Amino acid sequence: MLELEELLIRLGTFELRATMALREGRRYAVIGPSGAGKSSLLNAICGFLPVAGGSVRVKGRDITADPPGQRPMTMLFQDNNLFPHLTLRQNVGLGLRPNLRLTAEDEELVAAALARVQLGDHAEKLPAALSGGQQSRAALARVLVQARPWVLLDEPFAALGPALRAEMLDLVENLVAETGAGLLMITHSPEDVRRIAEEAIFVADGRAEAPMSAADLLNDPPPALRVYLG
Amino acid sequence: MAAAALVVAAILAAFAGVLSRAEIAGGLSTSDWAAIRFTILQALLSAAISVVLAVPVARALARRRFPGRGLVVTLLGAPFILPVIVAVLGLLVVFGRSGWVNAGLDLLGLPGLSIYGLHGVVLAHVFFNLPLATRLLLQAWQSVPSERFRLVAQLDLAPRALFRAVEWPLLKQVVPGVFALIFVICLTSFAVALTLGGGPRATTIELAIYQAFRFDFDLGRAAMLSLLQLVLAGGAAVLALGLLPSVSPDAGLDRPLQRWDARGGTQRFADGVSILLALLFLLGPILAVVLRGVAGLAQVPASVWQAAATSLWVAMLSVALLMALALPMAGWIAGRGRGRVEAIGLLGLSASPLMIGTGWFILINPWADPQALALPVTALVNAMMALPFALRSLVPGIRDVLRDYGRLAATLGLSGWALWRWLILPRLRPRLGFAAGLAAALSVGDLGVIALFADPDRATLPLQMYRLMGAYRMEAAAGAALILLSLALLVFWVFDRGGRWHHAGT
Amino acid sequence: MKYLALAAGLAGASAAYAQAPELTVYTYDSFVADWGPGPAIEKAFEEECGCDLNFVGMGDGAALLARLKLEGARTDADVVLGLDTSLIAAAKETGLFQESDVSAQYDLPIAWDDEVFVPYDWGYFAFVHEDTLDAPANFRALADSDLKIVIQDPRSSTPGLGLLMWVKQAYGDEAPAIWEGLADNIVTVTKGWSEAYGLFLEGEADMVLSYTTSPAYHLIAEEDSSKAAAVFDEGHYMQIEVAGRLAASDRPDLAEQFLRFMVSDAAQSILPTTNWMYPAVMPEGGLPEGFETLVEPEKALLIQTEAVPTLRDEALQEWLAALSR
């Protein structure tokens, strides 16, 4: 269980409040107008934004003050998800050992993860030598070896074409199913929500609403969401 | 933080050493005040002119691609690392009484120019520092993401609008630091100011320190003057770095910089002229050094080669020490987001080498033979001299890396050594290469403290060159100067290239 | 085992080394250079003394004295070689030096009666020029001419200080007027001798402050007879280079032996063509060929060493005032 209790994020005059409980193994979409604070919400959960009040708990443990790397979650950003100076093998390996001292067992895990995202032949390449889709898959391979209970996506596939994006979302869906992790993903597209999310969190007007069934929310949107969806 | 403390401690310890042997000092004489006024005036003029002239040169180099550009950029670094005496003699071959310029003017029936006076001092300082200013500005220019220039091209901005939108904000941010750096460098000038200043009118504080140490052996006075120099430099540094915001340039995706603007004929012409004039001004005297040197090479005694090896060794040690000082300091400053600590870096430059050398001599002498420590101490002082340059380059670099990849590193739990090993150091490689190259080259060319400690077996190349000159052997000295110039350029090139070699995504 | 053997060997070697008494001599840089007198002097003296002579070079004469003051009585030096007549008073004031019994048939233009310091070579300051130049005959003529000269700063170099004393000794209270007259002749003032001489060779000036013996270097070492020294009729200021032994030396006998050696024929015959100065005692073989071409001033000027410090301060103020206008 990932619980947000009276969570308050304050950035200058902007404020966002959230109270909700999310279950592991389920897939949540975060939708809402630009500037509503979707990214801020995820950044706060992950520990990149200091929170002004309230708490974040995972399995009952308060992690509000924990550094990002020690939270039971991992996040993919809009860009810079791979270090450009390291090979794919090293990039993925960092997910296992921050000092990159990989045991033979670790190496096997890395190789398996890369093979799982069909990049087995590209282990020694630098990210710049790959296409956008391949880079996204490499980042997902890292998420796979990290095997954290929660995966947070801040639109990492926004720059990909529709077909490629759909492919990535399918891959994500399979991966979280394999690891049993919970998924929390920001999106602008109702199609993405229908495709992958079981529940949706609507963020607007300084509040992140508790999750509702994605289908219900899209079929019968509240007024603010209706304006956003157009 | 610890490194910053170490720099301050190294300077303070030297002070304490000098003061421990000093007698109560008197006040400043009128000639001291004259020296202070002249010192500030020449340093202000030199820094201002260097920076103003560097702007068009850096801009031209930033937006033009031509064969040999890399070589031009490397060669532009040459004057900065030349020992003063070599550079001054080179300048005189070009601008001196019977130099090339005056010979040309004479042919045309025009009256000759005199290089001696305030303008001569400023000319020499601009010769030394224009390349540095150009290098630093060029680095800043190249840090502007090419996306920005793409936008400029889309909007079809006129040069003036481009200047307002992109270049002016950039300059506002970089120029104060560069200005402060050059101001501080010129503050401690002494041989240049005296030789080209034409006499005691052109006395600087450093000469007064020199006199206090050597002829008067008045340690109290020497310490007081050194302190004054530090305060001046520190004041300049705080003004330039502390009061003005230091924002790191925005990141662009790593891709070769391509420019769509400035295709007009006038601009092309202006850029060409800027680069050409800079090359003529900077390379003329160097060419003179080379021409003299080639003739003298045959007369260079074996001891010069031995000294070259010693210098190389000191340079490597100095690079290692610089890295040990600069990296933790840069990391600490970058984390703060404020330029105050960078001011500490400048102190290393503004402390009189004679003061530091004497201070450390007094401290070391009771415990160990100072001569045995001559080379390590020289390396340490050289590293401190190079520190401000390293910081100017490394701090924004670390800021960029942390801004772009800090969150990713944090999700991965990268911290401590792993963070440096796998993220910061590899991303900083080009900047590290530049800083190390500069430190090595500066160290190779530095005469500074070694003269106070050295014995015949441990002479560095510049010292050996001075000894040759002191024995009338000007030709052999010119040969040694050429070796020195080549060695300094070579170590700079190797490090700078090494930093960029196979650098991913740059 | 290898290491043990090596360690034993090293210990043995250093023990053997330690048995030869060591004499440490502080001197200026150019003395110990490969091309300076140092190597030959070292070889000759070691043959005679069965000791290990260790030259330590540091800067010039002024730096040498500053270094000695820094080290005080703890200094390793047994002998200091390379102070000059301008520095003797300051050197004596340190109380670090010890009188010596060395005396010789000095071939100096003045009588030498200093109890502490032993002179080993000397020269006259002079303005050196291309021999095609019609050189002035004194400072007044120089001041009236359009000739350009380069001099050294008395605050940072011994020749510069020598020139200050020269003008003061020759003209006394008129010295400020002389300096004012010279102001427009002085192209520039340099930190040390090397810079000034370099500028002169580059053609930046018609004359440079150096020594009457400078042309000997060009003549003998470079077979170039184009340089000459101008003779001034008010006389030439002298520089006498001296050596002295330190009271704190733990090898007083050896130090004394070295001082005696420095005025012996063996050392004196080495100096002229390595240090490019006149020997303090005429060697048996006379001066080397080429020295006979050097000009001989008619009058030698030298200020009593005790009077130098006060006179220096006064002359320096006059110099600064005259040239700062």
Give the pLDDT confidence score for residue B1 in this predicted structure.
54
Along the 325 residues of chain C, how does pLDDT read in single tens digits? 344 444 444 444 444 445 688 999 999 878 888 888 999 999 999 999 889 999 988 777 888 888 888 888 888 899 999 999 989 998 999 999 999 999 889 999 999 989 999 999 999 999 999 999 999 999 999 999 999 999 998 888 889 999 999 999 999 999 999 999 999 999 989 888 888 998 898 888 999 999 999 999 999 988 999 999 999 999 999 999 999 999 999 999 999 999 999 999 999 999 999 999 999 999 998 999 999 999 999 899 999 888 988 898 899 989 988 887 6
| Of C155, C243, C220, B408, nearest in space to A139 by CA | B408
Mean pLDDT of chain B: 79
Q: Which residues contact A102 (CB under 8 A, 6 or more apart)?
A: A93, A96, A110
Tell me which residue in B93, B467, B477 faces C202 most closely, judged by beta carbons: B93
Question: In whole angstroms, how far apart are CA C82 and each of A7, B77, B499, C41, C74?
Answer: 81, 40, 48, 14, 20
Give the pLDDT confidence score for residue B373 in this predicted structure.
74
Give the pLDDT confidence score for residue B453 in this predicted structure.
61
Q: Which residues contact B78 (CB under 8 A, 6 or more apart)?
A: B131, B282, B283, B286, B485, B488, B489
Say if B36 falls within a structural domain: no
Cβ C77 vs Cβ C25: under 8 Å: yes
Take residue B135 and report the two structure tokens written for it: 């290098």
Residues of chain A found within 8 Å of residue B404, distances taken between Cβ atoms: 80
Residue B232 burial (CB count, 10 A) = 20
Residues of chain B found within 8 Å of residue A47, distances taken between Cβ atoms: 410
Cβ C100 vs Cβ C80: under 8 Å: no
B408/A80 Cβ within 8 A: yes
Residue of C nearest to B206 (CA): C156
A84/B505 Cβ within 8 A: yes
| Of B142, B40, B158, nearest in space to B393 by CA | B142
C202/B98 Cβ within 8 A: yes
C310 sits in which H/E element: helix C308-323
Give the pLDDT confidence score for residue B248 in this predicted structure.
40
- Of the ranges A73-77, B108-112, B479-483, C43-47, which one carries the lowest mean pLDDT score? B108-112
B407/A68 Cβ within 8 A: yes
Say if B482 falls within a structural domain: yes
Residues of chain B found within 8 Å of residue A80, distances taken between Cβ atoms: 404-405, 407-408
DSSP state, residue B338: -
Q: Give the closest-approach CA distance of B485 to chain C in angstroms.
A: 18
Q: Where does residue B416 rank: exposed (0-12), middle (13-18), buried (19+ CB within 10 A)? A: exposed
Q: Tell me: the pLDDT tens digits for B127-156?
A: 989 988 888 888 777 777 666 676 766 666
Could you give the ipTM of this predicted complex?
Answer: 0.81
B470/C57 Cβ within 8 A: no
Mean pLDDT, residues A81-89 taken together: 89
DSSP state, residue B22: P
Does any CB of chain B come closer than 8 Å to the CB of residue A149? no
Rounded CA separation C234/C225 (Å): 26
Take residue B471 and report the two structure tokens written for it: 């024995």
Q: Which residues contact B5 (CB under 8 A, 6 or more apart)?
A: none
Rounded CA separation C131/A44 (Å): 86
Does any CB of chain B come closer than 8 Å to the CB of residue C68? no
| Of A47, A78, A92, nearest in space to A65 by CA | A47
With bands split at pLDDT 50, 70 and 90, how would you rate the model's confidence at A223? confident
Question: In whole angstroms, how far apart are CA C272 and each of B476, C108, C292?
Answer: 21, 14, 12
Interface test with B, best of A94, A100, A146 (most B CBs within 10 A): A94
1-60 in chain C: CB under 8 A from chain B = 29-30, 32-36, 38, 55-60
* DSSP one-letter string for B194-234: HHHHTSGGG--HHHHHHHHHHTS--HHHHHHHHHHHHHHHH
Mean pLDDT, residues B305-334 taken together: 88
Residue of B nearest to C198 (CA): B474
B467/C69 Cβ within 8 A: no
Residues of chain B found within 8 Å of residue A86, distances taken between Cβ atoms: 422, 426, 504
Take residue C253 and report the two structure tokens written for it: 């006998």
DSSP state, residue B352: -
Rounded CA separation C245/C259 (Å): 8
Interface test with A, best of B400, B405, B412, B414 (most A CBs within 10 A): B412
Question: In whole angstroms, how far apart are CA C116 and each of A186, C92, C275, C303?
Answer: 92, 8, 22, 18
Q: The domain C124-238+295-323: what is its CATH number?
A: 3.40.190.10
- What is the residue whose two structure tokens read 């994020």? A9
Rounded CA separation B67/B56 (Å): 20
Q: The domain C22-122+239-292: what is its CATH number?
A: 3.40.190.10
Rounded CA separation A207/A198 (Å): 20
Residues above pLDDT 70, as percent of chain B: 83
A48/B407 Cβ within 8 A: yes
B461 sits in which H/E element: helix B461-470
Does B411 score more than 90 pLDDT?
Answer: no
Does any CB of chain B come closer than 8 Å to the CB of residue A67? yes
Mean pLDDT, residues B400-428 taken together: 86
Cβ B401 vs Cβ B423: under 8 Å: yes
The count of CB pairs under 8 A between chains B and C is: 155
Interface test with B, best of A63, A78, A80, A85 (most B CBs within 10 A): A85
- Of the ranges A90-94, A204-208, A225-229, C196-200, which one carries the lowest mean pLDDT score? A225-229
* DSSP one-letter string for B236-293: HHIIIIISS--PPPPP--S------S--SHHHHHHHHHHHHHHHHHHHHHHHHHHHHH
- Of the ranges B355-369, B443-457, C67-81, which one carries the lowest mean pLDDT score? B443-457
Domain boundaries, chain C: 22-122+239-292, 124-238+295-323
Residues in chain C: 325
Sequence-ordered alpha helix ranges (H) in B337-365: 340-350, 353-364
Rounded CA separation A202/A223 (Å): 12
User: Long-range pairs for C14-20 at CB < 8 Å and ≥24 separation?
Assistant: C17/C52, C20/C50, C20/C51, C20/C52
3-state secondary structure of C186: strand
3-state secondary structure of C57: strand
Rounded CA separation C6/B398 (Å): 49
Give the pLDDT confidence score for residue B98 in this predicted structure.
81
Q: Tell me: the pLDDT tens digits for B231-241?
A: 887 777 777 66
- Of the ranges B33-42, B47-56, B211-220, which one carries the lowest mean pLDDT score? B211-220
**Exposed e or buried b for every residue in A62-99, given b needs 16+ CB within 10 A?**
ebbeeebbebbbbbbbebbbbbbbbbbbbbbbbbbbbb
What is the C-alpha radius of gyration for chain B, rounded to an integer number of angstroms?
Answer: 23
Does any CB of chain A come closer than 8 Å to the CB of residue B254? yes
**Exposed e or buried b for every residue in B112-149, given b needs 16+ CB within 10 A?**
eeebbbbebbbbbbbbbbbbbbbbbbbbbbebbbbebb
pTM above 0.80, yes or no: no
Does any CB of chain A come closer than 8 Å to the CB of residue B145? no
What is the SS3 string spanning chain A?
A: CEEEEEEEEEECCEEEEEEEEECCCCEEEEECCCCCCHHHHHHHHHCCCCCCEEEEEECCEECCCCCHHHCCEEEECCCCCCCCCCCHHHHHHHCCCCCCCCCHHHHHHHHHHHHHCCCHHHCCCCHHHCCHHHHHHHHHHHHHHHCCCEEEEECCCCCCCHHHHHHHHHHHHHHHHHHCCEEEEECCCHHHHHHHCCEEEEEECCEECCCEEHHHHHHCCCHHHHHHHC
Does B505 score more than 50 pLDDT?
Answer: no
The count of CB pairs under 8 A between chains A and B is: 72
Q: Tell me: the pLDDT tens digits for B169-182?
A: 778 878 887 888 88
Give the pLDDT confidence score for residue A48 in this predicted structure.
86
Q: Tell me: the pLDDT tens digits for B456-475?
A: 566 788 888 888 887 888 88
Give the pLDDT confidence score for residue A124 in this predicted structure.
93
Give the pLDDT confidence score for residue B340 in this predicted structure.
59
Does any CB of chain A come closer than 8 Å to the CB of residue B472? no
Residues of chain B found within 8 Å of residue C183, distances taken between Cβ atoms: 199
Phi, psi values for residue C228, rounded to 5°: -140, 160
Question: In whole angstroms, how far apart are CA C147 and each of B10, B101, B120, C167?
Answer: 48, 21, 20, 18
Q: Give the closest-approach CA distance of A75 to chain B in angstroms.
A: 7
DSSP state, residue C82: E
B214/C156 Cβ within 8 A: yes
Does any CB of chain B come closer than 8 Å to the CB of residue A100? yes
Does any CB of chain B come closer than 8 Å to the CB of residue A132? no
CATH number of the domain within which B386 lies:
1.10.3720.10
Residue of B nearest to A70 (CA): B413
Domains C22-122+239-292 and C124-238+295-323 share a fold: yes
Q: Tell me: the pLDDT tens digits for A175-221?
A: 999 889 999 999 888 888 888 899 999 998 899 989 989 888 888 88
Does any CB of chain B come closer than 8 Å to the CB of residue C96? no
A77/B408 Cβ within 8 A: yes
| Of B211, B203, B304, B470, nearest in space to C59 by CA | B470
* DSSP one-letter string for C203-231: TS-SEEEEETTHHHHHHHHH----EEEPP
Question: Vertex B121, ends B116 and B123: CA angle to 5°?
Answer: 100
Does any CB of chain B come closer than 8 Å to the CB of residue C186? yes
Sequence-ordered alpha helix ranges (H) in C95-157: 139-144
Q: How many domains does chain B have?
A: 1
B405/A85 Cβ within 8 A: no
Take residue C179 and report the two structure tokens written for it: 């300096």
Does B382 score more than 70 pLDDT?
Answer: yes
Give the pLDDT confidence score for residue C117 in this predicted structure.
95
Rounded CA separation C138/C233 (Å): 6
Q: Which residues contact B280 (CB under 8 A, 6 or more apart)?
A: none
Q: Where does residue C18 rank: exposed (0-12), middle (13-18), buried (19+ CB within 10 A)? A: exposed
Q: Give the closest-approach CA distance of B413 to chain A in angstroms.
A: 4
A70/B410 Cβ within 8 A: no
- Of the ranges B196-200, B320-324, B425-429, C65-69, which one carries the lowest mean pLDDT score? B196-200
Does any CB of chain A come closer than 8 Å to the CB of residue B418? yes
With bands split at pLDDT 50, 70 and 90, how would you rate the model's confidence at B70? confident
Give the pLDDT confidence score for residue C206 in this predicted structure.
95
Does any CB of chain B come closer than 8 Å to the CB of residue A210? no
User: Long-range pairs for B325-329 at CB < 8 Å and ≥24 separation?
Assistant: B325/B3, B325/B6, B325/B7, B325/B383, B325/B384, B325/B387, B326/B3, B326/B387, B326/B390, B326/B391, B326/B394, B326/B435, B327/B3, B327/B394, B327/B420, B328/B1, B328/B2, B328/B3, B329/B1, B329/B3, B329/B4, B329/B7, B329/B387, B329/B391
